[in-house]
Every structure is written in structure tokens, then in C-alpha cells.
Amino acid sequence: MILKGSQRAGARQLGLHLLETEDNEHVEVHEIRGFVSDNVVDALKEAYAVSRGTRCKQYLFSLSLSPPEKERVTVPVFEKAIAAIAAKLGLSGQPRVIDFHEKEGRRNAHCVWSRIDTDRMRAINLPHFKVKLNDLARKLYIEHGWDMPRGFVNREERDPLNFSRQQWQQARRAKRDPRALKALFQQCWAGSDSASAFGQALRTRGLFLARGDRRGIVAVDMQGEVYAVARWTGIPTKVIRTRLGDGENLKSVAEMRAHVAAHIGERLTGFVAEATRAFKQAADGIEAKRRAMVALHRAQRRALAGMQAFRAAEEARERNIRLRKGLLGIWDRVTGRHARLRRQNETEAVLAERRDAEARQALIDQQLATRRQLQGKVRQTRGAHQREVVSQGVV
């Protein structure tokens, strides 16, 4: 599975992110360990309070675990991976929070540790943690027989369409698919050998080169959104400048926005509006299905949790009845019957917990499969819209 970690502060912000239900369809707090508080936000605030006794500014270590989309990954697999990571990084025994997020048919885990060693009142050093995480990720792919991403086998074959959170947020603001947008920039770059050829390739797709204030050469789209060419092509800035120059002959961002609005926007507005209306109509229908599906899945999980809680209470009551009290209880202790019943009760409790966990996992697996089918329709709709808009010269 893909492992991404970072040292950070911002306890409240991170806690709220872990509980975010607007972007995530399902959020499950799995464990809060080593904290006095029993909720995520207050637990991470405790880590901040403890860090005030040290000079550490980045007192948390946040980790995301993303398994392959279509693989069945159970809770014990996540827990085992987290334990291995903690041991590798020196975080074993540290206070931590674990939760699960589900979105678009994928289930990811998040674990946040406090870096503060309270015995020594100093932060645990995490040297080369990215290298260690990559090494552990490779081992997980091999251990579980998952198809390993090319980038783990050969760094030069990493997926060129990977994008940062900042790029994802920018694409989201512009209502674009970040993977398609990055592919567009890379295709235009690969298919051109000069500044004019690159600029023309972008223009045919509704993007226009301009001179950025601090980011060198940028591209401006029809809505005025600004994209750093180096970031979206994945090409070093020095290489960009070698081919495109310093941008002195290009319009500034403000000038290009005005140019697009005055000379190009009106001509393409009709194309954009028509394609957008058709896409919105299809997307609204799918979104309605998604919301209904999420509501149904949440209701099913609540019903299962309620049923399991009721059954667990009844089973616990039945096991407790076996342990007699008073003189009979004393006799059971003398004869060893009490000890035998306690062992039987403990065994049955473990088996019942395992049974309930397997039932929860089965429901999650079934719901993920159903959600992935709907996500396939989402991708088809987005792809059709992208192709239609590109065919009109507008991305």
C-alpha cells in the first residue's frame, strides 16, 4: 500500500480533517490510545499541550495508508502495517489515533502519533522517514501479492500523473480533473520543441502562456485560473526556462486574463455552456444516486452496529449468569468449575468479537464493490465531457 507521512503541527485542524464527512462518505474512528481524551480533536490537542514542555514545533506524525483500490484489506492487515511502521520509525508505544476514510469506492487508513517522549520530554527524531516508509511499502506489496506500482520497481517509471494536494485543490477550484489536467500539460510539453509550439499546443486546449509574478512561466485558463507550468508538467524550472525563456515577451497574468475575456471568451462561451449543461445534467443524476447510496450504506452500518451491540449485551448477560454467586459460587471456586466457566466465557467472547468483525468487514466489502461500480460511471461521464470540450478547443 502507498504510505505517506509527514511531521506537522495543527492539532485541531488535523483532528477536524480526520473527522471530515463532507468529502469522505464514511469515517470510522478505530482507536484512540494513550490519551486521556476519548475524541480525536481533544486527543491531538493533548499532544500539543505536552509539546509545550519541549521546543518541538512539529509534534505530530501523520500517516496515510492507501491500499490498491480493488484489493480486500481487512482491519488486522492495517493494524499489522501500522505496528510495523511504528517499530521502524521508533514510535511504538506512543499515543496514537487511527481512523478509516472511505471515498469513491476506496478505503484508506490514517494514523497520527504524538512525537513527544514524555519520559524524556523531547521529540522522537524521525530521520529518513520517507525512505523507510517506501521500503515498508514495497514489502507490503510483496507480502500480500499486490501489483506493485512501477515507481517502486524503478524510480524513473513513477506514474507521471501523480499530483500534490495543492494541485488537487487547484484543479478542484477550477472544476477540473487533476489527472487529466496534468496529462494535458505533459502531452503539450512532450509534443513541442519550442516556446511557440508549446504555446500553440496549449492554446488549442484553452490555456494561454503568460508571465507569472514569482513562478516564472504560467498558463491561464478561460476562467482566469493560473497554473505554474513547471509544477503541472513536472519539468524542472531550469529546463522550462531553457525552452521557453524568461517570459519577458509574454503578457502578464492580468493582461492575459483581460485578453481572454475580451477576444476569446465570447466566442467560446456557447461551446462551454452547452458542454457544461450536458455534463451537469448527467453529473447531477449520478450525484443523486451517490448520495442515496451513501445514505443507504450508512443506514446499513448503523443497523448492523445496533444489532451487534444488542446481541453482544445479551451474550454477555448469558455468560455472566453461568458464574454462580453465594454459597454455590464458593463451591464452584473450590471445585474448579468457576475457572473452567471463566475460560469458556473468555473464549466465547473472543469468537463473538471475531464473528462481528468479519460481519462488519463483509458489509464494507460489499458496499465498496457497489460504490466502485458507480464510480466507474462517474469516470465515464467525466471522460466524455473532457473529450467533448477538448474537441471544441476548450479544456
136 plus 177 within the same structural domain? no
What is the number of structural domains in the chain? 3
- The three-state secondary structure class of 183 is helix
pLDDT at 157: 41
Are the C-beta atoms of 124 and 91 separated by less than 8 Å? yes
Domain range spanning residue 286? 282-391
243 plus 359 within the same structural domain? no
Q: Which residue has the higher pLDDT, 284 or 2?
A: 2
- pTM of the full structure: 0.67
- Whether 267 is in a domain gets the answer no
Q: Model confidence over 180-221: pLDDT tens digits?
A: 778 888 888 888 888 888 888 888 777 888 888 765 788 888
Q: Model confidence over 109-137: pLDDT tens digits?
A: 999 999 999 999 999 999 999 999 999 99
* 314 pLDDT tier (thresholds 50, 70, 90): very high
Is the pLDDT at 154 greater than 80, yes or no?
no
- Whether 274 is in a domain gets the answer no
Q: How far apart are CA 298 and CA 304, in angstroms?
A: 10
- Whether 275 is in a domain gets the answer no
197 plus 299 within the same structural domain? no
Q: How far apart are CA 300 and CA 293, in angstroms?
A: 10
Mean pLDDT across 231-242:
84
Q: Model confidence over 360-390: pLDDT tens digits?
A: 999 999 999 999 888 888 777 666 655 555 5
Mean pLDDT across 355-363:
94
| Pairing relationship of beta strands 60-66 and 2-8 according to DSSP bridges | antiparallel
Is the pLDDT at 176 greater than 60, yes or no?
yes
